[in-house]
Structure 1
Amino acid sequence: MQFKKRLGLYFSALLIVLLVGIVLKDVFLKETTVNPLVENEDGTKQLAFDAKLTRLDESTTTFKEYKGKVLIVNFWASWCGPCQEEASEFRDFYNNKSENVELLAINTTSVDSIENAIEFQESYNLNFPIFLDLDGTLQKSFGVVAYPTTFIFDSKGILKNKIKGSMNQKQLNDYIDKL
């Protein structure tokens, strides 16, 4: 009987320690996570350049690496038919883009997989930067509810366009020419 009481106390203590650890982890992670899309006082949306990006090899960087360029940020999934249709269009666009434009493709890894993202990149011979949204944080912050969804930011990081659905080279160039 005494043994069962001790075992119950140990188990309860362990459970409390685990719960406290989870709460503390959430508190500290929220403090270090930068929301990538913030609203300015004038109602425009601004890219937070300090927001973290995870590359296919799982190394990290931030949007700051691309600061000063027109940014095309595309959310996609390997199983998405329209994403597959636009992959070669994005590749060709990237190969012919101007120096002041950058295309960043973000795989919605929380509903896909790293392996599928790598296979997709190889299958379509994509040479533009591809990033992983491992936990869905970027997707939620950007308000992405369908794939593909593309965001176009001017060189100051101000959101100029949000396009739901697949795009082609001509459409991408038209949006960029209007900036």
Structure 2
Amino acid sequence: GESTSFTELKGNVIMLQFTASWCSVCRREMPYIERDIWNKLKNDDFVVIGVDIDEPAEKVIKFAEDMKITYPLALDPGARIFGLFADKNSGVTRNVIIDKNGKIAHLTRLFNMKEFNIMVEKIKALLKDESE
């Protein structure tokens, strides 16, 4: 793949979805992210990046294929990116929504539909604010 930086993405609403192939909760959440966020909300002002924690590229590619996701998965060797948002030894399943100014606008931990739906509405609100 290719590399990117937060600097390049500034001005966009960004969703970081922390994940790993061995994470059962992540696997449960990913089809919803694909269907209800990525496929419905993707546009030039919104970026979804799955951040796979500390797994080799071959495993991450197979994981994306197995999960049938089309949003990009990034590698996070040593959980360096994850460590910016959580203790490196804490549970993987979490989402970070970053507004167009680079500020954290919303965080989730684990997965339940109520929290997921709140996150979707937050993303929609941030995208609406951007277009005005």
For this structure pair, what is the TM-score category when the shorter chain's length is used for normalisation? 0.7 to 0.9
Unmatched tracts of structure 1, length 5 or more:
1-56
Aligned length, in residue pairs: 120
Shift of 1:140: 1.4
1:97 is aligned with what amino acid? L
Counterpart residue number, 1:157: 102
Shift of 1:69: 1.2
Unmatched tracts of structure 2, length 5 or more:
127-132
- CA distance in structure 1 between the aligned counterparts of 2:107 and 2:98, rounded to whole angstroms: 9
Counterpart residue number, 2:85: 142
Higher relative contact order (CA 8 A, sep 6+): 2
Q: For residue 81 of structure 2, give the secondary structure of its aligned residue in structure 1.
A: helix
2:111 is aligned with what amino acid? S
Counterpart residue number, 1:121: 64
Does 2:102 match 1:102? Answer: no
Counterpart residue number, 2:130: none
Which structure has the bigger radius of gyration? 1
**Root mean square deviation, CA, Å:** 1.9
- CA distance in structure 2 between the aligned counterparts of 1:176 and 1:139, rounded to whole angstroms: 20
1:143 is aligned with what amino acid? A
Q: For residue 104 of structure 1, give the secondary structure of its aligned residue in structure 2.
A: strand
Counterpart residue number, 2:24: 81
TM-score normalised per structure 2: 0.79
Deviations 1:69-123 (A, max 9, x none): 11111111111011000111111120111422211110002xx333321111001
Counterpart residue number, 2:122: 175
Residues 98/121 of structure 1: CA separation in 2 closer, same or farther (3 Å cut): closer
Residues 74/174 of structure 1: CA separation in 2 closer, same or farther (3 Å cut): same
Deviations 1:39-86 (A, max 9, x none): xxxxxxxxxxxxxxxxxx3x4221233221111111111110110001
